[in-house]
Structure 1
C-alpha cells in the first residue's frame, strides 16, 4: 500500500517567457511505514516537491494521492482539514508558540480542529519522543533538540498518515541532529509511521530506507539503504559540491 503517490507531477510557476518549471514529470510512491529522504542541489525542486506532496501547491499537471484521496479534487477548506488531520509537519524552525506550554503546543492542532486529545495516544507520543517530563515547560526553557521533539510530537498527535519533515535537523548541532534522526527512524520502525524528509545532509539521508535525488525538477535516481558516503558521491554528480 502506498501512503503517498505522485503521478507525472509537473509544476510551472509563471507564464510565457518568464515561466519556470520547478517539477517536470515526477512519479514516485511512498510505501506505508517507509522513511524516504529527498535530496538535490539548490533549485532542483525539493521544496516544490514537498509543497505538492502536502497539498500546499497544486500541480500544473499530474496528480498527488494521499492514500486513495486525489488532492486535486479537494477544495481549499477540504485541503486544510486534510493537512490538519492526515499530514504531520516538522520544520527546521520548530514553529512553537512561546506563550504556550509544551503540552498546549502539542495539542494545538487538535484544539484548532475542535477535537479532544486521545490521552492514551498523547502519553504514548510524549514518551516516544522523550519529553514526558517537560510538558509544563515553555519553549524558551527547552534546548533546540527538545523543541524539535515537541514539534515532532505535535506532528504525530493527530495520527497522520504521512509526516513531512523539511530540513528537520538544519538548526541543530551534529549530536542533537543525530538524536532527532534516530527518533524519526524509531517512529518508522516501531509505530509504522511514514516519513518524507527533505534534507541537504548525506548523514541525515543515511537514516532513511531510500534516498530520492532531484535535478532540474526531474527525478535523477534513487538509492536503497543509503549510506552517507554513497549519498555524497551521488550528490557530487548532481553538482551539489
Structure 2
C-alpha cells in the first residue's frame, strides 16, 4: 500500500542537548490505523508533532500525501496542515464559545473553504451528534466532546488524522466508544489514523503498533492484542532502564 505519511531519517534535538528522535524512518500506509507506543521519554509525542507539521525536525524529511512538508515555509506548512491534516487531542481543543456545529465547521473556515451544510450534517449524524449540534461543549460529556473533535477532524477530508492520547481523559466506556469511532474512521471512511497512546487496550484497536525507545524505532506488531502489546512494552521498559532496571524487575517478579 502507498504510504500517506512517510518519515525519513527524522531527528529532533532539543536544548540540553536532548535527542528526542534519532534517525527514525517509518511509513504509515493509506487506510491504516497505527498506534505509536514506547516508554516515557521514548519520543512518541515528538514524532507525532513533527509528522503533523506542528514542530520542525532538526533533520530529516516528512512527506504527507506525496508532498514534502519539511520543505515548506511556515506559512505554507500551516496552510497545508489545515487542508490535509486532522487532529484529535486528549483535551479536545474545542472552543467553549462555539456550538458543536460551529466547532466542526471551524477547520474549513480557517482554511478559507466554504462549509457544505449537507456534509456537516452528514458527519454529525454519523457520529451521533445531530441532536447536539446547537449545544456548547460545556454541556457535553467527555466522550461526546471527543466525538466532536473527531467530527472536526473528519469534515475537512484530511489525508491523515493524528490522535494524541485521545482516550487519556475519558472513562472506560467513553474510551471504548472513541476507539470504536476511530476504527470506523479507517474502516468506513478509508482515512489513515496515527495514534499515540500509552494504553495497550487502546493500541489493540489498531492494525499495527510501532514501538519507540530512546528516540529510535524498536520494532512493530501487526494485529496486536492488549496482552502482546503490554508484554512488548514491559520488555522495552527493561531495555531502557538498563541492567539495574532489569534486575529490579526480576527481583520484583521473584
Give the TM-score of the pair, scaled to structure 1: 0.96
Q: Report the 3-state secondary structure (helix = DSSP H, G, I; strand = E; otherwise coil) of the residue aligned with 1:163.
A: strand
**How many angstroms apart in 2 are the aligned matches of 1:71 and 1:114?**
20
Q: Which residue of the partner structure matches residue 196 of structure 1?
A: 194
Q: Which residue of the partner structure matches residue 5 of structure 1?
A: 6
Alignment of 1:100-179 (within 5 A): 100-179=98-177
Alignment of 1:1-241 (within 5 A): 1-14=2-15, 18-239=16-237
**How many angstroms apart in 1 are the aligned matches of 2:126 and 2:50?**
29
**How many angstroms apart in 2 are the aligned matches of 1:147 and 1:81?**
25
RMSD, aligned CA: 1.2
**How many angstroms apart in 2 are the aligned matches of 1:59 and 1:182?**
32
Q: Which moved more, 1:199-208 or 1:151-160?
A: 151-160
Residues 191-235 of structure 1: CA distance to partner in whole angstroms, max 9, x if unpaired?
101000000000000000000100000000100010000000000
**How many angstroms apart in 1 are the aligned matches of 2:63 and 2:105?**
27
**How many angstroms apart in 2 are the aligned matches of 1:229 and 1:127?**
35
Q: Report the 3-state secondary structure (helix = DSSP H, G, I; strand = E; otherwise coil) of the residue aligned with 2:220.
A: strand
Q: Report the 3-state secondary structure (helix = DSSP H, G, I; strand = E; otherwise coil) of the residue aligned with 1:235.
A: helix
Runs of 4+ in 1 over 6 A off after TM superposition: none
Query: Any stretches of 5+ residues in structure 1 without a counterpart?
Result: none
**How many angstroms apart in 1 are the aligned matches of 2:136 and 2:59?**
44
Residues 128-149 of structure 1: CA distance to partner in whole angstroms, max 9, x if unpaired?
2111111011111111100000
User: What displacement does 1:12 show?
Assistant: 1.2
Q: Report the 3-state secondary structure (helix = DSSP H, G, I; strand = E; otherwise coil) of the residue aligned with 1:211.
A: strand
User: What displacement does 1:114 show?
Assistant: 2.5
Query: Any stretches of 5+ residues in structure 2 without a counterpart?
Result: 239-248, 250-254
User: What displacement does 1:125 show?
Assistant: 1.4
Residues 2-38 of structure 1: CA distance to partner in whole angstroms, max 9, x if unpaired?
1100011111112xxx311110111111111000000
Number of positions where the alignment pairs a residue of Structure 1 with one of Structure 2? 238
